[in-house]
Structure 1
């Protein structure tokens, strides 16, 4: 992410944190296409137009932030990672191949879906296919339709998502780890980190 996009993203985040219920209502009422400018967004109209262009999926690309060595160890029915430094977060996750589950710390993520993206108009710049494992604690049946008030009423929500796939353009394997913890309506942590593997 460019320094400019990071700065605009921080302004947007600061703007919507001032009134989270407003952004949730805007999202519910939104029509297809880009969100209409409002000063509550936390930036000028020109900055908003620049931000919208920058975050268009056709313009965004994942760029490496750091590189390092990761050892992948397969032991009968498990796949584990051994990594250091900034890649050490991989050490907390492992695959149970027999049960088709992913484990992150004490959480178990069941397999949920296979995804195929047939166009290169995405952050990877390639068509791709991936498998996804996901969990919510507490378990929520209609997770996609949770609104801010329901999340606040839950007191606590933890979500983890793992995606493992292959890029068609390069044949490169990727894994994306995504997680969020919300306590009393406040985000305690949130990450969405892609990893690209090569031999």
Structure 2
């Protein structure tokens, strides 16, 4: 990934980020504790970054202190560390270095208050255009972003183990493969889905992406 594209993404879509974390994340002295250092940190890993795979959340729950700090909260209360453990520490090389973004540019800790619009999908497509590929694998965390994209593109959904929902979108010069995986921040009664998410990511890394 070239520096010019990284700079444009950081400026135009500051809620975006990349599937790469400091090895010590989320513990003390990790780079993520100084968010202003994240852009340089990402630049230093530019050779491993790929835009063909994109992780898509619904929206962020907090204001972001700096570009590329989304999905990188240095605390175990936000559960971002689970993604690092599953992908980076888990050796999922095809997912490591992927692009990350939220479908909706809105801050709200309660996702039930957030509704994706056609404009939000258009902004996502702008990001994909900037990334420059003609085929993408969009891995959506939870049903909300996945369902919003399925409704927008009006495509059929199929189910595959382990508890994956999938759809394919064919546009002029652009192919989108959509996948619903479970949200990494689940807890309590839904805690069992976190282990399923780990298997889902392993499956996508090995068989699909």
Structure-1-length-normalised TM-score: 0.26
For the pair shown, the structure with the greater C-alpha radius of gyration is 1
Structure (1/2) with the larger helix percentage: 2
